[in-house]
Chain A
Amino acid sequence: MSDTWIINMAFVALLVAIGLYALLTMKNLIRMLIGIEIVSKGILLALIATGYEKNNILTSQSLAISFIVVEVCVLATALAVIINIHRHTKTLDIEQLTNLKG
């Protein structure tokens, strides 16, 4: 394995750590979504770096494009859900969303 791939993977781990931190410690729904975005950036970097390492950048690019399309759909739906939650509860605090709590 080349040094470039190992460096890329170290940065992938950093990005995933930052995204997981946002998901686990933040209370604002939009910030949590930003955390998901950062994790997905790490995964995209891993895909492209691995394709580069394996001399098969075309396959990894096509996988990355698929991933980006899915990411956009998930994000658009999540943002629509967040807007609806805000309309009903007037807050984005995840700790205040206790309507379904048993």
Chain B
Amino acid sequence: MHIFLLCGLVLCSILAILATDLLKAAISLAGASIFLAMTFFELGAAYAGVFEISVVAGLITVLFIATISLTKGEGEVKERRFGRYLLPVFVVGMAVADFLVMRQFLGALPALPAAPEAADLGTVLWSQRTFDLIGQIAVLLAGVFCVLALFRKRSEDE
């Protein structure tokens, strides 16, 4: 089951890259997110799976589709013809690099800090990763201000 989910994830990702229509590419990306979320559920990471489905498969797909509809029409981009033939080369190259390089690091993976006994995600998130939460709030605020600045109404003398 796990392998099938991962194969579905990779297939949807390849479809998202190779689809000629951008709308189909965005929907394939949402499909890839759903496969990834199901993989998370299978690995026991239910909260990350819920975030992946609601935020990445939902919100980001809506953002992509809105952008595609706002930029549609003029200025269609033609991709390079030889580009499609390079994908297998990339994949094989990365697999070889993975096999040759990453194998040496498999045993040297450092341990993560241990979670408290019988803790839930809330405890870990609020007590151990408090600094991450502050960072997240700062990043969210920065994102909101960026989008507001980019879409602000221009005055007449600009």
Contacts and interface: CB of A to CB of B under 8 A. Distances in A.
A17 B112 contact: no
Given A48-B40, A71-B56, A73-B140, A65 B112 contact: no
Interface in A1-25: 1, 4, 6-11, 13-22, 25
B106 A6 contact: yes
A60 B44 CA distance: 11
Interface residues of A, number: 72
A62 B124 contact: yes
B75 A86 contact: yes
Interface of A: 1, 4, 6-11, 13-22, 25-28, 30-31, 33-35, 37-38, 41, 44-45, 48-54, 56-66, 68-77, 79-84, 86, 89-93
Given A18-B13, A59-B124, 8 more contacts: A9-B98, A15-B13, A18-B91, A41-B36, A45-B39, A56-B113, A89-B75, A92-B71
